[in-house]
Chain A
Amino acid sequence: MIDIIGKRKWYFLISALVILPGIAAMVYSLITYGTPLRLSVDFTSGTIIELQFQKPVPPAEVRAVYLEHGYADTAVQSVGDGSTVLIRSKQLDDATKQAIEAELQQKLGPATELRYQSVGPAVGREVTRAATIAVVVGALAILAFIVIAFRGVPNAPRYGVCAIIAMVHDILVTVGVFAIFSLFLGWEADALFLTALLTMIGFSVQDTIVVFDRIRENVPKMRGEPFEVVVNRSLSQTLHRSLAIELSSLTVLTAILLLGGATMKQFVAVLIVGMITGAYSSIFNAVPLLVVWENGEVRGLFRRLRGKPAAA
């Protein structure tokens, strides 16, 4: 049997090592750009044009053309060999867009418009509002789910709190990793990012509940054994399942990441990070936390909670 619980301090350390740089990236980004993640035009409004030229073009020249038309805050990104450029700017009206494209083609040669997306401020606000509601409702639904899953179990609040801590851990890891990519590769959080995040949170909580379920089942069966032993046994029993599921889901997602179109890459990458951290946190965070709590190792930390009626 693998002793997972015994090395719990190491696992908490690993989590911290992943989460802290992410938080640092978010703080840096918040100070420099005003938002913890780079937000896409879905939320901020603006125009994205993807143009394919016949030969590689220098992004600076594209930016210069935008600047002439008064669009100072324009980001130009080369894709592939550099003949395709992704241009993000403030929202352009039809006339300006046509003028700019004509000028670009005159200076840099003929180009095909692969993609064009333009979002007005009203739509951006609407999406932001809907996103906020989706996150709040999603969080409430998951809380309700945890409460229902652990109703009638002895020490229910403990299981619940540990599941929630694992969930927050997964959110921090996923958003943190995205923040790092956002800083270095210019990834932007769009509507699909939020979708991936919500989906992955559901999976992650589920993972935790499957493991907790087994502990719950084994406690009465193994009366007299120390809690740590019960937990270790339960983990070994569910480990195959966790590994098998990770492997099968990750193979599909990796296939999409490597072979699928460029537009889905970020979305799938977020899902992959989420799946990995979700499985990791259930086994290596949520369950060890439960043991720590049972052993009273964090009594001092939770002293404030004890006054409440929810005390275990």
Chain B
Amino acid sequence: MQRRDWRLLAFIVVLIIVAAWMDWPSTQGFNLDLGPIHIHRVIKLQQGLDLRGGLEMLLVADVPAGQTVSADSMAAAKVIVENRVNGLGVTEPLVQLQGQNAIVVELPGISDPEQAISLLKTTGSLEFVDAGTTVIPQGALIHTTGTAKQQASSGSAEQYFEPDKVFETKFSGADLANAAPGRSQTGAYEVNIEFKPEAATRFATYTSQNVGKILAIVLDGRVLSSPRIENAIPEGRASITGNFTLEEARSLALQLKYGALPVPLKVEESRNVGPTLGQDSVRKSVTAGIVGLSMILLFMLVYYRVPGLLASIALVTYALINLALYKFIPVTMTLPGITGFLLSTGMAVDANILIFERMKEELRWGRGVEAAIDAGFHRAWTSIRDSNLSTLITCVILYWFGSSFGASQVRGFAITLFLGVLISMFTAIVVTRTLVRLVFHYWGQWLRARRWALGMNVGG
């Protein structure tokens, strides 16, 4: 028995060291190269918008009731919104499709929500510009004759490629009839485009006169790709090649097809938390958490003495593992999330209280120490399992509820409570039991003689 306990103890110690290392504020991540195994992982505590401040909004397709929006056009709208968000120069933005007709946008640390909203809502423009012989890198911002005005209002965040030059717009999104991903004869992915009849004629003339030149494709002032005109294109059909993956080809086709937003979007919901309020929340939550945890530790020590001390060690392990998992998975920390974590701490203690109360009873009935420990853990198990199971089920329901955008803050609570309950099953049972067994094996007689050390005189 002791052999197994010592082995478990070794495992627990290793776990604590790994978790503590991951929790250490300066830990950035790890890189592991072991023969064929390559693991690169960034470890960072993600803060939600309510903690670091920022703007969150839900853009919904603004179409008459009853009219459906195709999945294709929503995907295209998402790509376009993403491009515009990147133009804002925000760190770690998030753009995500929600349901069938909405896009969630999260912009951390934004100071001017109005500007961001108006920029995201503008209708974008697709252009084919004459770049001469310059290959413009993908993603670069340029001035064009078609969008000179728009850039003046939005372009302060980033550096322009050749800021003094204004490229001439030759064709626009309005000239395109269709665009679709395809494969060339060599098997490479490409994007096939088709011009409208009147533009096709102009396109034929232009390409025949400018073979060898670059005709850059620009969306909202940002270069998508810089294809070279290989030869004259008479029929209004062309293909854009580049080292595309299928995904890139598809995305480019979508953007070409819907240069402007394919569906009008309106801001259905927005939430902005100022950075001061966020920092204030972080400070207050940390204080509340530390005070709360310390009170629990103190309570366990006073009420259960030696077993309480062992349970407190288990509780600290519990907190360390939780934090490490938040950083590793990662789980975005929000105010409800912190509350969920602290509440699950209560549950973790709950399991130990059930066990210790049982142990005390068994001791009172005259059982031997080891038998009492085993009975305590064994008989409390049903209650612990049931209570944790019911909380886990509640968490699943809450997580589902939180997946509707308006209730998104519920999700953080559901996740941390769920994780906390799972981890508490391990720490409150395995960790505490191993510690209790070892301590009682070596100091059991000494402890039995001192009933105060077992908290037996308290409410005994």
Binding site for B on A (CB under 8 A): 42, 50, 94, 97-98, 112-120, 122-124, 126-127, 129-131, 133-134, 137-138, 141-142, 145, 149, 191-192, 194-195, 198-199, 201-203, 205-206, 209-210, 213, 237-238, 240-241, 244-245, 247-249, 251-256, 258-261, 263-264, 267-268, 271
Chain B residues contacting A97 (CB-CB under 8 Å) are 114
The answer to whether B291 and A259 touch across the interface, beta carbons within 8 angstroms, is yes
How many B residues, CB 8 Å from partner? Answer: 71
User: Which residue of B354, B394, B405 is within 8 Å of A123 (Cβ)?
Assistant: B405
The answer to whether A244 and B357 touch across the interface, beta carbons within 8 angstroms, is yes
Residues of chain B in range 391-422 having any CB-CB distance to chain A below 8 Å:
391, 393-394, 397-398, 400-402, 404-407, 409-410, 413-414, 417
- Nearest Cβ on chain B to A135's Cβ, whole angstroms: 9
The answer to whether A260 and B404 touch across the interface, beta carbons within 8 angstroms, is no
B346 contacts chain A at the CB level, 8 A cutoff: yes
- Nearest Cβ on chain B to A27's Cβ, whole angstroms: 27
- Cα distance, A130 to B347, chains bound together (Å): 27
Contact A94:B281 (CB < 8 A) given known A205-B390, A248-B296: no
The answer to whether B267 and A255 touch across the interface, beta carbons within 8 angstroms, is no
The answer to whether B349 and A255 touch across the interface, beta carbons within 8 angstroms, is no
Closest B residue to A42 by CB, please name it. Answer: B406
Q: Residues 357-392 of chain B: 1 if any A CB is under 8 Å from the residue's CB, otherwise 0? A: 100010000000000000000000011001101110
The answer to whether B391 and A203 touch across the interface, beta carbons within 8 angstroms, is yes
- Nearest Cβ on chain B to A44's Cβ, whole angstroms: 11
- Cα distance, A129 to B343, chains bound together (Å): 27
Chain B residues contacting A116 (CB-CB under 8 Å) are 113, 270-272
Contact A191:B407 (CB < 8 A) given known A145-B390, A145-B393, A202-B390: yes
Closest B residue to A263 by CB, please name it. Answer: B335
- Cα distance, A137 to B393, chains bound together (Å): 10
One of B17-25, B180-188, B282-290 contacting the partner:
B282-290
Chain B residues contacting A117 (CB-CB under 8 Å) are 269-272
The answer to whether A252 and B284 touch across the interface, beta carbons within 8 angstroms, is no
- Cα distance, A258 to B387, chains bound together (Å): 28
The answer to whether A259 and B354 touch across the interface, beta carbons within 8 angstroms, is no
The answer to whether B350 and A261 touch across the interface, beta carbons within 8 angstroms, is no
Closest B residue to A116 by CB, please name it. Answer: B272
The answer to whether A119 and B406 touch across the interface, beta carbons within 8 angstroms, is yes
- Cα distance, A112 to B277, chains bound together (Å): 11
Closest A residue to B394 by CB, please name it. Answer: A202
Chain A residues contacting B405 (CB-CB under 8 Å) are 123, 126
User: Which residue of B274, B289, B295, B401 is within 8 Å of A115 (Cβ)?
Assistant: B274
The answer to whether B350 and A259 touch across the interface, beta carbons within 8 angstroms, is no
The answer to whether A256 and B401 touch across the interface, beta carbons within 8 angstroms, is no
- Cα distance, A94 to B267, chains bound together (Å): 9
- Nearest Cβ on chain A to B360's Cβ, whole angstroms: 8
- Cα distance, A243 to B213, chains bound together (Å): 81
